Amino acid sequence: MENSHIALSTLTPGFADPVHDTQRVFRTLLDALSRPGTIGIVDNVLPEVRASRAARAAFAALLTLCDYATPVWLAQADTALGSALRFHTGAPLVDEPQDAVFAYIHDASALPALESFALGAAESPEQAATVLIRVDALNGGAPIVLSGPGIQHSATIAPLGLPEHFWRERAALAPLFPCGIDCYLVCGYELLGLPRTTQAKVN
């Protein structure tokens, strides 16, 4: 009992108001995917806890999207994050990226090949993975011009810290549509959506 009490007392807290906070974060996530290039902000929904290294936006997104039926893959070991996800959402953690519905990459330099994630199938593209990648910043990097649904003409982003192979591999997956993966770039409380329908041109 004492060990259980210690584990519970050190657990990373989730949402203070699960119903309203989940709805709020979900709207932010949906808006980010439906309007690529637009930065969403997730704030005032999580307490300041230093136990997990995960970006706040990533943790909030996983709390919102995950449940017992959505396996999660963590590219880098994070005991605090894994324990919090299991406790608050019931989501199982898996050892391989292809088994995950959601994945979190804390160190973008260690991002595996995008084709290693579940890409869905023609008859069930919704079974593709959603990948959250922490970057050093959402601006300050090389300009990337986005076009496609949700963008009136074009939008320019400049995330800092993504490996070069990310954009090449993402472009290679485009002919597989409707299969593919959706991504969120996260940094602190901010996030940016990159749905599989968005084309990206590196300047």
pLDDT at 52: 60
User: What are 74-99's pLDDT values in tens digits?
Assistant: 999 898 899 989 999 999 999 999 99
Q: What is the pLDDT of residue 1?
A: 34
**C-beta separation of 91 from 67 below 8 A:** yes
Residue 175 token pair: 């002919």
- Domain range for 24 is 2-202
H runs (alpha helix) in 94-175: 165-173
Q: Return the pLDDT at 139.
A: 95
Please give the tally of structural domains in the chain.
1
pLDDT of residue 10: 57
Q: And the tokens for 101?
A: 């519905």
What pLDDT was estimated at residue 14?
Answer: 78
Cα–Cα distance measured from residue 37 to residue 195, given in angstroms and rounded to the nearest whole number? 10
**pLDDT for the residue 203:** 73
Instruction: List the chain pLDDT tens, one digit each, 203 residues.
Output: 333 333 444 567 777 777 888 899 999 999 999 999 999 998 877 765 444 667 899 999 999 999 999 999 999 989 889 998 999 999 999 999 999 999 999 999 999 999 999 999 989 999 999 999 999 999 999 999 999 999 999 999 999 999 989 999 999 999 999 999 999 999 999 999 999 999 999 87
109: domain CATH number?
3.40.50.11310
Name, in order, each residue with C-beta under 8 angstroms of 41's C-beta and a sequence gap of 6 or more: 28, 57, 189, 190, 191
